[in-house]
A and B are shown apart, each in its own frame.
Chain A
Amino acid sequence: MNGFWSVIFSAGFVATIIRVTTPIIFASMACLIAKKAGVRNITIEGTMLVSALAGVVASAYLKNVWLAVLIGMLAGVGIGLFLGYFHIIMDTDIWLTGIAINLIANGGTVFAMFAITGDKGSTASLASLTVPNINIPIIKDIPILGEILSGHSFFTYLAIVSVIVMYVLLYKTPLGLRIRAVGEYSMAAESVGENSNRIKLIALALSGMFASFGGMFMSMSYASRFVRDMMAGRGFIGIAAESMGGGHPFGAAFAAAIFGVADALANVLQSFSIPSELLLMIPYLATIVGLVLYSIRRQEAEKKRIQKMRQSNTVKEG
């Protein structure tokens, strides 16, 4: 086990956690903003897949990585609005629509990939570009800290920024207030003249945008090509992270990091003759444990609230 500790207590391991966490943070932010507007967006996994492919294909043909990121982003926003059109305007069931979009994305990306490259497995034949890694000037020269903080993908820094942006957006801007108001009780928001459908559509478009960053991180930075089904459930884990985070951007990011640790730990432990099937369970087990803990906490808070109300009521009556 000597090797184990030397791996765990290395700067590289922390960098691994940051890398593994990045797509989950994006997914949880995508889920969070939609949920704040009162829409349960389960299409994040599918949105990530579509954007990942759109980004790769665009970069191969346009030969400009930032233009490709823009196109991938538009694809994500498009799917967010697609979901919004059906659920909000046409009033379809959110779960059925969400499942349908995920399935479409799953098969559709393979179909599109085959139509473009003639290969159903991966976009190996496309000379696609990758988003550059960023070395932070002064920090990169600090011995350990530099290895941990510097040299990550553009998207990793974007993920950190987006958590802060999300906080500011939700709690410090008029739009955030509107989103939360619509999500809490849309009739109340409408009674003061707010167009709740419009707000929900905006939230879903933003949700699609965040998901698209997660998708493009996977195919244009983490790996340098698109492989079918390459999200492997990260979109769904992001949804779980959002729930565990208690509906707050920082909480969601923290929960995402817990998944990152679990996932990174599972990779390392595999080298030490612990059954792999047990270890591959860790991130998902962490999801369930986390959700149970969150639920217990919430129930107790609820109990306390009710008790308080009862007490104040008896005081009044007395």
Chain B
Amino acid sequence: MKKLLALVLSLSLAFSLTACGGGGTSSSGSAPESGSSTSSEADGEKSFAGVKILHLISNTRGDGGNHDAAAAAVEKMRDEYGAEIKIVEMGNSAADVPKYLPTTLDACEEGWDYIVCGTAQMVEPVMEASNEFPDQKFIVYDAEIVRESEDQYPNVYSCLFKQNEASFLAGAMAAQMSDTGKIGFIGGMEIPAINDFLVGYIDGARYINPDIEVYSAFVGSWNDVAKCKEIANTQYQQGASLVFPAAGQAYPGAFEAGLAAQKMYLGCDVDRSISYKETNPEICEYMPTSVLKFVGNSIEGAFLRIMEGENIFGKHETVGIAENCVGLAENEYYEKLVPEEVRTKLDEIKADIVSGKIVVKSAYGMSQDELNAFKNA
């Protein structure tokens, strides 16, 4: 009996270990050998031939947002610059998240030149892997690697988006177009990036109308379309003239509620009108714009700078409207649904943000108390 128990225990241990490591990098056998050349050999003509890039997605592809955009940028490195790439989807269920760290550590042993990963959930795995593998280069998007001293994490480049700036424009637009003086916001979960959207949105709305009421609520999930729809229903019922869902895959719920109530809503991360234009054009008729984050641009930009020989590692950058990394989708529906004087005003605001005349408030660096006080002000 004891022997059997021991066997079962050891087997389950062995299995769980392989499950951890295998979760992401199951094909470690086929991983490239280490010690390959880096970008510097490609002078003149920009090329990434022989460079090996690994993209660890802390989700699966098909999020229709940041990870998809990042993966597309990594694929572009392969298609246009000849890099050797691999994209690993680590999933985002409760069972997957604990595997992020072991998967990252495993990946460091496989000899990739660059590991691309993103979002706040990857910050801790990258910090730990960076200490353990000081030669491994990391490119982190949509998150900040906080350094206590300047020479900490010299192998990590991280880049944060000023989604608050794009969101500021959205808020300013919503406030100008609102006939009720009330607008809504639906977040997926209360994480820094989503709060940053919210803070910018409120800030922009108050810039136009200091007395505006902004309802904000969270779905508590990235997938619960039904709950998103109910929250949107509630906000429309309370008089919100426009709802901005920054809620991952749950956003269609807000669109459906808005369509039924014949009120407006915004897309988030990518221009949502593109995917609806063919299949469901009436959805677009109530979507004046989408709040965009060009995650792909920033990753591509980072690689181009590496190709030019610049050392971007050991740095953290925030990119916004000035760098053309966030903004509003100025598509045909924007022209059609947003009145011209509003568009002119938005262009002015945009110029003011770029010139620094308007400094948009950010949720990054705000304590929870400050955030609550700001929301309720």
Contacts and interface: CB of A to CB of B under 8 A. Distances in A.
User: Do A and B bind?
Assistant: yes
Interface string A263-288: 11001101101011100100000000
A106 B375 CA distance: 36
B64 interface: yes
A7 interface: yes
A227 B61 CA distance: 13
Contacts of B279: 124-125, 127
Interface string B366-377: 000000100110
Contacts of B64: 121-122, 124
A110 interface: yes
B333 interface: no
B306 interface: no
B346 interface: no
Interface of A: 3, 7, 10, 12, 16, 19-20, 23, 106, 110, 114, 119-122, 124-125, 127, 218, 222-225, 227-230, 232, 263-264, 267-268, 270-271, 273, 275-277, 280
Interface in B250-294: 250, 252-253, 256, 275, 279
Which of A23, A227, A228 counts the most B-chain CB atoms under 10 A from its CB?
A227
Given A271-B217, A276-B190, A228 B234 contact: no
A7 B226 CA distance: 19
Given A122-B249, A122-B252, A222-B226, A270 B231 contact: yes
Contacts of A270: 216-218, 231, 234
A61 to B, nearest CB: 15
Contacts of A10: 237
Contacts of A223: 225-226, 229, 252-253, 256
B190 A273 contact: no
Contacts of A16: 230, 233-234
B221 A232 contact: yes
Nearest to A125: B279
B227 interface: yes
B250 A227 contact: yes
B237 A12 contact: yes
A276 B249 contact: no
Given A7-B234, A122-B64, A276-B218, 13 more contacts: A114-B62, A120-B61, A121-B64, A127-B279, A223-B253, A225-B252, A229-B221, A230-B224, A230-B226, A232-B227, A267-B234, A270-B231, A271-B238
Contacts of B375: 273
Given A7-B234, A19-B230, A227-B225, A121 B190 contact: no
B63 interface: yes
A228 B223 contact: yes
B226 A268 contact: no
Contacts of B190: 276-277
B215 interface: yes
Contacts of A228: 223, 249
B235 interface: yes
Given A224-B256, A271-B217, A7 B62 contact: no
Contacts of B32: none
A273 B249 contact: no
A230 B60 contact: no
Contacts of B239: 3
B210 interface: no
Contacts of B134: none
B367 to A, nearest CB: 14
Interface string B44-67: 000000000000000011111000
25 contacts: A7-B237, A10-B237, A16-B233, A19-B230, A114-B62, A121-B64, A124-B64, A223-B252, A224-B252, A225-B225, A227-B225, A227-B250, A229-B93, A229-B221, A232-B227, A263-B227, A267-B230, A267-B231, A268-B234, A270-B216, A271-B238, A275-B372, A276-B218, A277-B218, A280-B220
B62 A121 contact: yes
Nearest to B223: A229
Contacts of B229: 222-223
